[in-house]
Amino acid sequence: MRAVIQRVSRADVKVEDKVVGSIEAGLLVYLGLHQSDGPELIPVLVDKIINLRIFPNEEGRFDRSLQDGGGGLLVVSQFTLYGDCRKGRRPSFQDAAPPERARALYEKFLECAAGKGIQIAAGVFQAHMEVSSVNDGPVTIIMDLPNQGADT
Protein backbone atom coordinates (compact mmCIF):
# COMPACT_ATOMS: atom_id res chain seq x y z
CA MET A 1 0.00 0.00 0.00
CA ARG A 2 1.16 3.44 -0.84
CA ALA A 3 -0.26 6.71 0.41
CA VAL A 4 0.60 10.26 -0.52
CA ILE A 5 -0.51 12.36 2.43
CA GLN A 6 -0.92 16.11 2.23
CA ARG A 7 -1.75 18.39 5.12
CA VAL A 8 -4.35 20.75 3.71
CA SER A 9 -6.28 23.81 4.82
CA ARG A 10 -9.08 22.60 2.52
CA ALA A 11 -9.66 20.04 -0.20
CA ASP A 12 -12.48 18.71 -2.34
CA VAL A 13 -13.08 16.18 -5.06
CA LYS A 14 -15.56 16.57 -7.91
CA VAL A 15 -17.10 14.04 -10.28
CA GLU A 16 -18.97 15.45 -13.28
CA ASP A 17 -18.78 18.96 -11.79
CA LYS A 18 -20.42 17.86 -8.50
CA VAL A 19 -18.54 17.92 -5.22
CA VAL A 20 -18.64 14.36 -3.86
CA GLY A 21 -16.31 14.90 -0.91
CA SER A 22 -14.75 17.84 0.87
CA ILE A 23 -12.93 18.75 4.05
CA GLU A 24 -11.67 21.91 5.66
CA ALA A 25 -8.34 21.53 7.49
CA GLY A 26 -7.01 17.99 7.66
CA LEU A 27 -5.37 15.41 5.44
CA LEU A 28 -5.83 14.61 1.77
CA VAL A 29 -4.74 11.03 1.11
CA TYR A 30 -4.14 9.55 -2.31
CA LEU A 31 -4.32 5.79 -1.77
CA GLY A 32 -2.60 3.30 -4.07
CA LEU A 33 -3.21 -0.41 -3.67
CA HIS A 34 -0.71 -3.03 -4.81
CA GLN A 35 -1.80 -6.32 -6.33
CA SER A 36 -0.35 -8.22 -3.36
CA ASP A 37 -1.90 -6.03 -0.64
CA GLY A 38 -4.23 -7.79 1.75
CA PRO A 39 -6.95 -6.50 4.07
CA GLU A 40 -4.75 -7.06 7.13
CA LEU A 41 -2.69 -4.01 6.13
CA ILE A 42 -5.66 -1.63 6.18
CA PRO A 43 -5.87 -1.05 9.96
CA VAL A 44 -2.09 -0.60 10.10
CA LEU A 45 -2.12 2.10 7.42
CA VAL A 46 -5.18 3.86 8.84
CA ASP A 47 -3.58 3.94 12.28
CA LYS A 48 -0.31 5.31 10.90
CA ILE A 49 -2.07 8.04 8.92
CA ILE A 50 -4.46 9.28 11.60
CA ASN A 51 -1.70 9.26 14.23
CA LEU A 52 0.96 10.85 12.02
CA ARG A 53 2.21 13.89 13.94
CA ILE A 54 2.36 16.52 11.19
CA PHE A 55 0.16 19.24 12.71
CA PRO A 56 1.85 21.99 14.71
CA ASN A 57 1.59 22.43 18.45
CA GLU A 58 1.67 25.84 20.16
CA GLU A 59 5.43 26.15 19.48
CA GLY A 60 4.99 25.28 15.79
CA ARG A 61 6.58 21.82 16.07
CA PHE A 62 5.04 18.78 14.39
CA ASP A 63 3.48 17.24 17.46
CA ARG A 64 -0.24 16.78 16.77
CA SER A 65 -2.09 14.25 14.67
CA LEU A 66 -5.42 14.03 12.91
CA GLN A 67 -6.60 11.92 15.84
CA ASP A 68 -5.66 14.81 18.16
CA GLY A 69 -8.19 17.03 16.42
CA GLY A 70 -6.33 17.90 13.23
CA GLY A 71 -9.48 17.94 11.09
CA GLY A 72 -10.96 15.74 8.39
CA LEU A 73 -9.66 13.03 6.08
CA LEU A 74 -10.34 13.07 2.34
CA VAL A 75 -9.37 9.79 0.66
CA VAL A 76 -8.95 9.40 -3.09
CA SER A 77 -8.17 6.05 -4.71
CA GLN A 78 -5.26 6.39 -7.14
CA PHE A 79 -3.93 3.33 -8.95
CA THR A 80 -1.38 5.51 -10.75
CA LEU A 81 0.73 5.57 -7.57
CA TYR A 82 1.95 2.16 -8.74
CA GLY A 83 2.88 3.40 -12.20
CA ASP A 84 6.28 2.00 -13.19
CA CYS A 85 8.18 4.38 -15.47
CA ARG A 86 11.53 2.60 -15.56
CA LYS A 87 11.10 1.35 -19.14
CA GLY A 88 9.91 3.37 -22.08
CA ARG A 89 7.73 6.44 -21.90
CA ARG A 90 4.37 4.94 -21.00
CA PRO A 91 3.93 3.86 -17.37
CA SER A 92 3.05 0.27 -16.63
CA PHE A 93 0.37 -0.27 -14.02
CA GLN A 94 0.76 -4.04 -13.69
CA ASP A 95 1.68 -3.75 -10.00
CA ALA A 96 -1.58 -1.99 -9.12
CA ALA A 97 -4.34 -4.13 -7.64
CA PRO A 98 -7.02 -5.13 -10.16
CA PRO A 99 -10.16 -2.97 -9.89
CA GLU A 100 -12.42 -5.44 -8.07
CA ARG A 101 -9.76 -6.17 -5.43
CA ALA A 102 -8.77 -2.51 -5.12
CA ARG A 103 -12.40 -1.44 -4.65
CA ALA A 104 -12.86 -3.86 -1.74
CA LEU A 105 -9.64 -2.67 -0.08
CA TYR A 106 -10.51 1.01 -0.65
CA GLU A 107 -13.95 0.54 0.90
CA LYS A 108 -12.41 -1.32 3.84
CA PHE A 109 -9.97 1.57 4.31
CA LEU A 110 -12.87 4.05 4.43
CA GLU A 111 -14.82 1.88 6.90
CA CYS A 112 -11.80 1.47 9.14
CA ALA A 113 -11.03 5.20 9.12
CA ALA A 114 -14.68 6.09 9.80
CA GLY A 115 -14.57 3.81 12.84
CA LYS A 116 -11.90 6.05 14.39
CA GLY A 117 -14.32 8.90 14.96
CA ILE A 118 -12.88 11.41 12.51
CA GLN A 119 -14.64 13.19 9.65
CA ILE A 120 -14.25 11.11 6.47
CA ALA A 121 -14.84 12.20 2.88
CA ALA A 122 -13.98 10.27 -0.26
CA GLY A 123 -13.72 10.31 -4.00
CA VAL A 124 -15.62 7.89 -6.24
CA PHE A 125 -13.76 4.69 -7.07
CA GLN A 126 -12.81 4.42 -10.78
CA ALA A 127 -14.39 7.77 -11.64
CA HIS A 128 -12.65 10.60 -13.42
CA MET A 129 -12.16 13.07 -10.59
CA GLU A 130 -11.01 16.64 -10.19
CA VAL A 131 -9.21 17.14 -6.90
CA SER A 132 -8.60 20.63 -5.55
CA SER A 133 -6.55 21.32 -2.46
CA VAL A 134 -4.58 23.93 -0.61
CA ASN A 135 -1.47 22.25 0.76
CA ASP A 136 -0.74 23.68 4.21
CA GLY A 137 2.96 24.13 4.83
CA PRO A 138 3.46 22.64 2.29
CA VAL A 139 3.54 19.27 4.01
CA THR A 140 3.51 16.13 1.85
CA ILE A 141 4.49 12.67 3.09
CA ILE A 142 4.81 9.46 1.07
CA MET A 143 4.06 6.35 3.11
CA ASP A 144 4.67 2.80 1.88
CA LEU A 145 3.68 -0.36 3.68
CA PRO A 146 5.47 -3.53 2.59
CA ASN A 147 3.51 -5.66 0.15
CA GLN A 148 3.34 -9.31 1.05
CA GLY A 149 5.22 -11.31 -1.54
CA ALA A 150 6.50 -8.24 -3.34
CA ASP A 151 9.95 -6.70 -3.50
CA THR A 152 9.96 -3.65 -1.25
The residues assigned a catalytic role are 78-80
User: Strand 72-77 vs strand 120-122: parallel, antiparallel, or unpaired?
Assistant: parallel
**Separation CA 123–CA 128 (nearest Å):** 9
Cβ 107 vs Cβ 99: under 8 Å: no
Helix (H, G, I), strand (E, B) or coil at 117: coil
